[in-house]
Structures are given as C-alpha cells and as structure tokens.
Amino acid sequence: MSDDPPVLLLMGPTAAGKSALALEIAERFDAEIVSVDSAAIYQAMNAGTAKPTQAERQRIAHHLIDILSPLESYSVERFRQDALACVRDIHARRKRAVLAGGTMMYFKALKQGLDVMPEADASVREALDAQAREIGWPAMHDRLKKRDPVTADRLDPNDSQRIQRALEVFALTGQPLSSFHGQTANPMAPLFHFKTLALMPSDRSVLHERIAQRFDLMLKAGLVEECRQLRLDYPGLHSALPSMRCVGYRQALAFLDGVMDETDFRFKGIVATRQLAKRQMTWMRSLGSDAEMDPLMDDAMQRGLRAAGRLLGA
C-alpha cells in the first residue's frame, strides 16, 4: 500500500486532550477520525466516556463510536479488523485517517499485529466470574500471581477484565498469558504507513488535576443517572460485563448498589482514573512513537498540529 498516505496514530493518557487535538488535526489536514477507545464503542454510555458531541461529529466524521450494545463484548482482533476497514474506506474517499484514543492494546494490535491466543471460552469465564463474586478480584489477582507472576505484576488488582483473561488462558492451556506474547499470527500486520504521535504529560500533578476535573464533569453530566437508566434499558446488565468495567461505570454501579457512599465513589473513581493514566503512559513508552509532545504546555495545540503535519507529510 505504498501509494496510501500515512495514517496518524494519536495516543495519550486520559485527560491529555487527545479528542480536541484530533479534531483540529482532522480539520487542518482533511482527515476523518477513527476512535481507539474501548468505552466509546458502547451505545447509551455517554456521560462517562467523553465521546465527541453531535456537533463535533457533524464537523468531522468519526468512526467506531456507538457500535455495540453495553451487553456485548468486543475483542482486540475485531477492533483491528474494523479499524483497518475504516482506514481503507477513508483512503477510498481521498482523505487522511487519524486514529485517536487511549486503549493501548488496540494500538499495539495495529502496530505490531496480534499475539496467537486461545479463543474465549464462555463456560470458563462464567466459572471465573462466580469465583470472583465469592472472593473478589484482588484475591483472584493473588491467584494469578501464582500462575503467571509476569502478567500479574503489570495488572491492577481490580482490573477484572484482564485478570479474568489471564486466568482463562491458563485454565485453557496450562500456560501463562505472558508466554504467548510475541507469538504474532501476522508479523506483517502494519498494512499502512502508521506514524505515531504520543501525548506524554510531563507534570503528573497537573494531569491528576485534569483527571479530577474531568471526573467531576462526568458526575455533573449524569453518570449515576445514566447507569441507573442502563439497568432499566438493558435487562441482564451486570458489573462483570466489559462495558461496566470501564473506569467510572464500575464505581457508579457500586455506588448504586450501596457498596460505597458518594464521597468514596468520587475518590475511588478518580484514583482508578489516575491508575489508568499511569498504565497508559507505561504502554506508550513500550510501544514507541515517531514524535512525542507534552500536552500540558500552553502552546500544545500548535505544537501538536506542527508535529502531525510533519508525520503526515502535509
């Protein structure tokens, strides 16, 4: 695909300003945006996902937003297939593509291909969920440490989705999840000229302030009321679903269930978001980039546009 224009991968931690920069880049360089966000894919989840507004979507075409019910699951493999299809369609319209977001496993799949992994097994997952309901995910994390310490060391004890997957892989194969990494099924995975711009905040305390402000905006936007309505609109919705494991939503459900009070809910939501941002930055360092910038600088937007222009050859 040597005749295709470069594809910009814009990645950064939560609250780093990715969405605003992606909009400006897309407008400046005649591009469309593909969301790289494992929460924005879900319909009816708006208050806690910072999706682009309808006005922004009318201004610039966005893809892979609101494509699933909160009751459904979405794999990294499916994201990769969908994202590459979007890029092909965008190029067919003679436009550039900007893939922006903070789900680093999705970026890894685009840049490095997919590790060879066993398929998900519903019965194994149900059994693991049942165990977690009895002893809690931190105890399941302790169990993972004995089976796969490499994977356990990089996971938060409350990261139920990834702990479950690691235990599932071990149950299915008898091998730790970490042993599969690097066994790519498609080493020629990068089908386009990917150019990566990483937003790496230099001042962690300022980023933490932004995260707290963003979480408060989510609350004002009606996160709790939205979760209450989701339960009414989607019978069978429960906290173990991938959609409800998103930061903010799992804390809101715990609040609605009386597990924590309002003060504790806000505190744990902000702490969980900080932990997410830390993991995102660790991932970015391991993935590497063609350009890096500090999104907290006063002239960050101008710097981002210049960097994007260089990477896109525009």
Q: Please write the tens of the pLDDT for every residue from 60-73.
A: 999 999 999 999 98
**Residue 263 forms part of a structural domain:** yes
Same domain? 201 vs 54 = yes
**Residue 279 forms part of a structural domain:** yes
Same domain? 261 vs 156 = no
For the segment 293-301, the average pLDDT, to the nearest whole number, is: 96
Name the pTM for this structure: 0.83
For CA atoms 236, 242, 246, 250, the dihedral sign is: positive
Half-sphere exposure of 189 (CA within 13 A, CB side): 21
Mean pLDDT for all residues in the chain? 92
Q: How many domains does the chain have?
A: 2
Same domain? 248 vs 301 = yes
Q: Under a CB-based contact definition with an 8 Å cutoff, are residues 110 and 9 in contact?
A: yes
Token pair recorded at residue 199: 């937003």
pLDDT of 239 reads: 87
**Residue 2 forms part of a structural domain:** no
Same domain? 276 vs 204 = yes
Same domain? 11 vs 33 = yes
Q: Where are the alpha helices (DSSP H) in the chain?
A: 18-28, 54-59, 76-92, 104-112, 122-135, 137-147, 149-153, 160-173, 204-220, 223-233, 249-256, 262-287, 300-312
pLDDT of 160 reads: 87
pLDDT greater than 90 at residue 113: no
Query: Of 149, 164, 180, which closes a domain?
Result: 180
Same domain? 108 vs 240 = yes
In this structure, which amino acid lies at residue 115?
D
Same domain? 150 vs 36 = no
pLDDT greater than 50 at residue 188: no
- Picking from 91, 46, 72, the residue whose alpha carbon sits closest to that of residue 223 is 46
**Residue 1 forms part of a structural domain:** no
Share of the chain above pLDDT 70, in %: 95
Same domain? 173 vs 202 = no
Q: Please write the tens of the pLDDT for every residue from 208-243.
A: 999 999 999 999 999 999 999 999 999 999 988 999
Query: Of 159, 180, 201, which closes a domain?
Result: 180
**Residue 106 forms part of a structural domain:** yes
Band (pLDDT 50/70/90 cuts) for residue 175 is: confident
Q: Please write the tens of the pLDDT for every residue from 19-66.
A: 999 999 999 999 999 999 999 999 999 999 999 999 999 999 999 999
Band (pLDDT 50/70/90 cuts) for residue 187 is: very low
Same domain? 164 vs 215 = no
CATH number of the domain within which 228 lies: 3.40.50.300
CATH number of the domain within which 165 lies: 1.10.20.140
Q: Which domain holds residue 144?
A: 122-180
For the segment 276-290, the average pLDDT, to the nearest whole number, is: 95
Band (pLDDT 50/70/90 cuts) for residue 180 is: confident
For the segment 294-312, the average pLDDT, to the nearest whole number, is: 97
Same domain? 306 vs 246 = yes
Same domain? 195 vs 282 = yes
Same domain? 198 vs 254 = yes
Band (pLDDT 50/70/90 cuts) for residue 142 is: very high
